[in-house]
Amino acid sequence: MRRDLSFTAQRGRRARQRLIFATILIVILFILDALFGGPLRLALQSGAATVWKVTASARNAITGSGYFTSHRTLAQQNETLEEQLAASQSDAAAYQGLKEENDELRAFLHLASSTPGLTAPIVSSFRASPYGTFMIGAGTADGVVPGSIVMSTEDFAIGTVTSAEVHTALVTGSFASGSSIDVLIGTTAAVANGRGGGNAIAMVPREASIHENDAVVAPSLGSHQIGIVGHVDDSASSAEQTVYIQLPINLSSLRYVYIIPKP
């Protein structure tokens, strides 16, 4: 403990001695500077002026080079280009949407030329409905009534109007879950039981000649095609074949349909 106190005291004495020495040195320098007419102050001032000149020269060289101005200009140009690119992308997307819409509407021309009816927009999502239904933007004011046939651009009868208001109507899909409809698969009559999502199942006699991609038509819907055969399950132990029917279009991507008035 005494050693620690002694060491601390020694450190304190050395610190005081250094402080006294520095003070004496500064006083001596001031005295010498005063006796010789201030050469030390002049040297310090000259050094400070030199440093200031060098600093100012470097600052002027940097600002005079236009680096910061060029940098700001480039940043502004980059921002402008980004805004122009975003606008161009938006215009391209809008153009593509209009083109697809125009192509879809043009695809109905062949139907309009042979079958009286009208084109109507889909105003609700087919996918969002758990009942295989969707709304269209046409109603009784346009001649749309329950029983009207709803066609896709690919000439498939995808459903019928089940209820209609003045400017809107509800369409139920041909293969809505729980529904059934009489169909012809080739020359074989059957009943297609809807499973939803554009799919149905039908049972036909085992001896019936049914193949994949055969057309499936519905006499009650103007004998329009409502699907194709996707698969045939032929079991040797059964007297019937199971025919899996599908609608070969993406219902959720449709934006327009063609409405054929009820006969």
pLDDT for the residue 5: 47
pLDDT for the residue 63: 56
pLDDT along the chain (263 residues), means of 10: 52 64 64 57 55 57 58 77 73 58 63 81 73 90 94 92 94 93 95 93 93 95 94 85 93 88 76
pLDDT for the residue 47: 53
CA–CA–CA angle 210, 213, 217 (5° rounding): 75
pLDDT for the residue 124: 84
pLDDT for the residue 33: 56
Domains parsed from the chain with CATH numbers: 2-64 (no CATH), 110-174+255-260 (2.40.10.340), 180-246 (2.40.10.350)
* Alpha-carbon separation of residue 86 from 72, 76, 231 (angstroms): 21, 15, 47
- Sheet containing 169-173: which strands, arranged edge to edge? 118-121, 256-260, 149-151, 157-164, 169-173, 133-136
CA–CA–CA angle 149, 154, 155 (5° rounding): 35
pTM exceeds 0.85 for this model: no
